[in-house]
A and B are shown apart, each in its own frame.
Chain A
Amino acid sequence: MTIFLWLTALNAVRVLSRNRLRTGLTMLGIVVGVGAVIAMVSIGEGAKTAVAERVASMGTNVILILPGAVTTSGVRGGQGGTVTLTTADAVELKKRVPLLRETGWARRDVMQVVNGHKNWNTTVNGISPSYLSIRGWSFVSGGPFTQQDLETAARVAVLGQTAVDNLFEPGEEPVGATIRINHVPFRVIGVLAPKGQSAEGLDQDDVIFIPFTTAERKVFGTRFFGAVGALFASTERPEDLDQAVAEIREVLRQRHRLQPNQDDDFIIRTQVDIGKVHEETGQTLTIMLLAIAAVSLVVGGIGIMNILLVSVTERTKEIGVRMVVGATRRQILLQFLVEAVTLSMIGGCLGIVVGILGAQATTTLAGWPTIISLETVVAAFAFSMAVGLFFGLYPANKAAWLNPIDALRYE
C-alpha cells in the first residue's frame, strides 16, 4: 500500500504538470490564501511583540497608584482632580507591605528648559531616586541622583534622549553642562538610555528627571509639601502583584481614613492589567486578519474542487479503464485525493514563500514589525493540506463511485 501511495503521488505530480496553466491557476487560490495567512499572522505577532516590549519598558512588576475621585458632600470629583497621595504614603507602604521591593513617587509638569540659545518644552518629573530603578531606566552616561540630593533639594537633572537631542548640539556632552528649568539652573548628571514609545504611543524619552524636593520647592511650587502625582512600587515576583495590590489598598484606605461605605480615593494599576488591555486589542486584530485570510483559503479550496470535478468528468473514460484493469474504488479515491492534496501542498509551499516575502515587504515598506514563526508556517501548510483533502473528497468520491461500464462508454 505504501508503494502504491508513493507511486500515486508521483503520478499526481505528472498529471498536474501536464496542464501547467490550469494547475497554476487552480493553485493560485491556495497560494494567495496561505500567503495571506502567513503575512497577516506575522504582522499580528509583530504588533503583539512590539506592544509587549512597550509594556515591558514600564519596568518589571510595576504597580502604579494614581489619585482617584474624591466625593465631598455628595459631589464626586473627577479622577485626579484632587491630590490624595503623598510621599508619606509611599514611605508608609514600604514599611507595611513587605512584598514591595521598592516604592517611589513622582510629580510632573511641562516646563520650558533652556540650554544656551536652545530651548525645549518638555515633561519635567520630580521623583524619588527609587523611581528610576522601579521603571527600569538605565544610563548611557553619568548616573542617577542620590538620597542625599533628594534631602538637600540639589539642583541636578537627569535627561532623556529626546530632551538631549533638542537641547544639545550633536556630539556635545550633556553631562556636566548647566541647563535652566523654569529659570532655575540645574547641573546635568546623567543621560538615560532610550526607551522608545510607551504602550500608549507617547515618547518616553522626552523627559527630564530632577529630585522631587527640588521640584516642589524650586520649580513647580506646591499646594502642600509631599503632594505627589503618582506613586510607584514594584514587587520581586510577578505572582506577588495581586497580593501586594490588596495590601496597598488596605494600607492606603486606612491612612486616608476611608469609611467602609466610601470609594477608594486612589486607583491601583499593575503592569499586568495594562499589558492585558493591549494584548486583547492585538488578539482582536489578529483574529480579524486570520478570518480574512481563512476566507481566501476556503475560496482557494473551492477552486481546487471545481477543477477536480472538471478533471473527473474529463477523465471519466480513463477512470473506467483503470477500473477495468483492477483498480478498486479505494484506489481511485486515493488517486484523486492525492492529486488534490499535492495541488494544495505545492500551492501551500508557494504560499509560504509569498507570505514570507509579503511580511518582509511590509516591514521594509510600511515599517511595521513582523514576526514569522515556525508554528505559523507549519500551521498554514497543514491547513492548506486539509483544504485540499476536504475539497478533494467530493470529486474523488464521485470518481470512485463511477460505474466502470458507463465510464468506459463515456465520450
Chain B
Amino acid sequence: MSALVVCEDIWKIYRLGDVEVQALRGIDVMIQEGEFVAIMGASGSGKSTLMNILGCLDQPTRGRYLLRGVDVAQLGANQLAEIRNRQIGFVFQNFNLIPRTSALENVQLPLFYRGMPLRQQRALAAEALARVGLQGRESHYPSQLSGGQQQRVAIARALVASPSLLLADEPTGNLDSTSSQEIMDILTRLNKEQGMTIILVTHEIDIAAYAKRELVLKDGRLVTDRYLAPGVPSLSVETT
C-alpha cells in the first residue's frame, strides 16, 4: 500500500522584489495513512508554507507532492479545489468560521460546494457536530460560542467531508489550557478510533507531544523526523 502523503524534494521560492526567499529547501517526507504527525519549528522556519502546500492551497516551486499517488503539482485550480473539498480538512488557529452564520451552516459549507441536497447537508452536518460534542448548538452563531466550542465547530466542518487528511494549523494557539486539552482529546480520539491521518502544526512542545511522530523544520529544511514514545502526553500534565 502506498503512502498517503509523499513529498519529494519540495522547494518553495518567493520573490519579493529583487530578494529571493527560499521558504522550503528540499523537503522529503512520507506520511502513511493513520499517522498523527506534529510539525514544529520557529516562526519563519517554513512550517506554514509546508502546510499550505500539503493542503493544496499552494503549489511547490520545485519537487513533487503526491497525495494518494496523485501528483498535485500537475493539477489545475478547479481540481485543487475538488481535492480540498473531498480529501482535506482544515482547522486553523483562529477558527475561521463564517460570522453571522449558524454552526450548522458553517459545518455544511464543504457539502454546499459539492451541490449536495440541502436535507442531506443538514443531516451530515448535524452528525459531525454531534461527533465533537456540540449537539444542541446547531443554530448558535460563532459569536455565541466559546473559543473551544468554535474550534470544535471548525473540526466538525473539517470532518463532515470525510477527508483522508486533517490539517491543523496551531489549533490550540488561541485557546486556554482546558479548551486546548479538549481539542487535543478530540483529535487524538479521531486518530485512534477512526484512523484519521492528522498533521498538526504547532510550536508548543506539550501540544506536539500528543502526536506519534514529530517533524522539526529549520530554515526551510527538515532537521528532525522521529517517532515519539507512547505515553508522552504526561508532559502536558507537568506544564499545567
Contacting pair B112 A7 (CB below 8 A): yes
Query: How many A-B residue contacts, CB cutoff 8 Å?
Result: 68
Stretch at the interface among B77-85, B124-132, B212-220: B77-85
Contacting pair B116 A328 (CB below 8 A): no
Please name the residue on chain A nearest to B58 by beta carbon: A405
Q: Quick check: is B145 within 8 A (CB to CB) of the other chain?
A: no
Digitize B87-117: 1 where CB-to-A-CB distance is under 8 Å, 0 elsewhere. Answer: 0001010001111100000000110111111
Closest CB of chain A to B21's CB: distance in Å? 15
Contacting pair B110 A329 (CB below 8 A): no
CB-CB under 8 A from B152, the residues of chain A are: none
Q: Give the interface size bracket for B toward A.
A: 20 to 34
Q: Which of A324, A329, A331 contacts B96 (CB 8 A)?
A: A324
Closest CB of chain B to A106's CB: distance in Å? 77
Digitize A81-113: 1 where CB-to-B-CB distance is under 8 Å, 0 elsewhere. Answer: 000000000000000000000000000000000
Contacting pair A329 B77 (CB below 8 A): yes
Contacting pair A329 B115 (CB below 8 A): no
Contacting pair B55 A7 (CB below 8 A): no
Contacting pair B115 A326 (CB below 8 A): no
Closest CB of chain B to A10's CB: distance in Å? 8
Contacting pair A321 B113 (CB below 8 A): no
Contacting pair A326 B86 (CB below 8 A): yes
**Interface residues in A316-332 (C-beta closer than 8 Å to B):** 317-318, 320-331
Interface size on A, residues (CB 8 A): 22
Contacting pair B100 A18 (CB below 8 A): yes
Q: Quick check: is A4 within 8 A (CB to CB) of the other chain?
A: yes
Q: Quick check: is B1 within 8 A (CB to CB) of the other chain?
A: no
Q: Quick check: is A1 within 8 A (CB to CB) of the other chain?
A: yes
Which of B85, B112, B114 has the most C-beta atoms of chain A within 10 angstroms of its own C-beta? B112
Q: Quick check: is B52 within 8 A (CB to CB) of the other chain?
A: yes
Please name the residue on chain B nearest to A330 by beta carbon: B78
Contacting pair A4 B58 (CB below 8 A): no
Closest CB of chain B to A408's CB: distance in Å? 7
Contacting pair A326 B85 (CB below 8 A): yes
Q: Quick check: is A3 within 8 A (CB to CB) of the other chain?
A: yes
14 interchain pairs, CB-CB under 8 A: A1-B115, A321-B97, A325-B157, A325-B161, A326-B81, A326-B83, A326-B85, A326-B86, A327-B81, A327-B85, A328-B78, A328-B113, A329-B81, A404-B57
| B binding-site residues for A, Cβ under 8 Å | 52, 55, 57-58, 77-78, 81-86, 90, 92, 96-100, 109-110, 112-118, 157, 161
Since A317-B96, A321-B109 are in contact, a sample of 5 more A-B pairs with Cβ atoms closer than 8 Å, ordered by chain A residue number, is: A3-B118, A320-B96, A324-B55, A325-B110, A326-B85
3 closest A-B pairs by beta carbon, nearest first, are: A326-B85, A4-B115, A328-B81
